[in-house]
Amino acid sequence: MKFFIDTANIEEIEEINNLGLVDGVTTNPSLIYKSGRDFKEVIKEISKIINGPISAEVTSTNFADMVTQGKELSAIAENIVVKVPLTESGLKACKELSSRDIKINVTLCFSSSQAIVASKMGATYISPFIGRLDDISHHGLALIDEIVKIYKNYNKVLKTEVLVASIRSPLQIKEVACMGADVVTVPPKVIKQIIKHPLTDIGLKSFMEDWKKTGQKF
């Protein structure tokens, strides 16, 4: 399973990338706003750090504008993936842009039926938001299970990768990995939470204390 980092903060990207855990990056207008920087400049800078896919989202809801913006974003670097919303106009833009060999991440997916349509329109990635479903008392993990099964059933036709978004905890990452999701996009703080475990800390502390008792030096 691939790990994408969900942020537009350059320092966070560099920090996690130095661990060797970053396979790609996802951004959105909210993350760009939080960065306080120019959108295109941020995407350009990320593309110089990360070799894997970098999702950059269109900022229009109009089909023609999405296509224009998508072309412009894809020209920034070879590894740019254009994000479009799962709307009628977004799906039309997905089909148009993918026909030009531009990789597309269809975002804001909340049902398996939406995922089927997005894949048929040429999406490279589908981004189901599990945390936001959980927020309204729906079962976000169940959606991932459905999409993975559907794509597997029709893998000769549906080539889209399942990119799980809106992840809030390490447990969710484990669950979607068991289901067979292709990619998770994770906030930096959750990536750090994955690494830490209290029993690891306790065990290491015990080992270090016992090493000191040996009186040896390495």
Which tens digits make up the pLDDT trace of 32-42?
999 999 999 99
| pLDDT digit string, tens, across residues 17-27 | 999 999 999 99
How far is Cα 187 from Cα 169, in angstroms, rounded to an integer?
Answer: 9
Please name the residues in contact with 83: beta carbons below 8 A apart, sequence gap of 6 or more: 26, 27, 28, 55, 56, 57, 58, 104, 105, 106, 107, 127
| pLDDT digit string, tens, across residues 99-113 | 999 999 999 999 999
How far is Cα 170 from Cα 7, in angstroms, rounded to an integer?
Answer: 17
| Cα dihedral 108, 114, 115, 119 sign | negative
Please name the residues in contact with 194: beta carbons below 8 A apart, sequence gap of 6 or more: 170, 173, 186
CB atoms within 10 A of CB 143: 22
| pLDDT digit string, tens, across residues 113-162 | 999 999 999 999 999 999 999 999 999 999 999 999 999 999 999 999 99
What is the CATH topology of the domain spanning 2-208?
Answer: TIM Barrel (3.20.20)
| pLDDT digit string, tens, across residues 60-96 | 999 999 999 999 999 999 999 999 999 999 999 999 9
How far is Cα 176 from Cα 193, in angstroms, rounded to an integer?
Answer: 16
| pLDDT digit string, tens, across residues 156-182 | 999 999 999 999 999 999 999 999 999
Q: Where are the domains of the chain?
A: 2-208
How far is Cα 142 from Cα 9, in angstroms, rounded to an integer?
Answer: 31
Give the pTM: 0.95
- The residues carrying an active-site annotation are 83
User: Angle at which helices 63-74 and 88-98 pack, to 10 degrees?
Assistant: 40
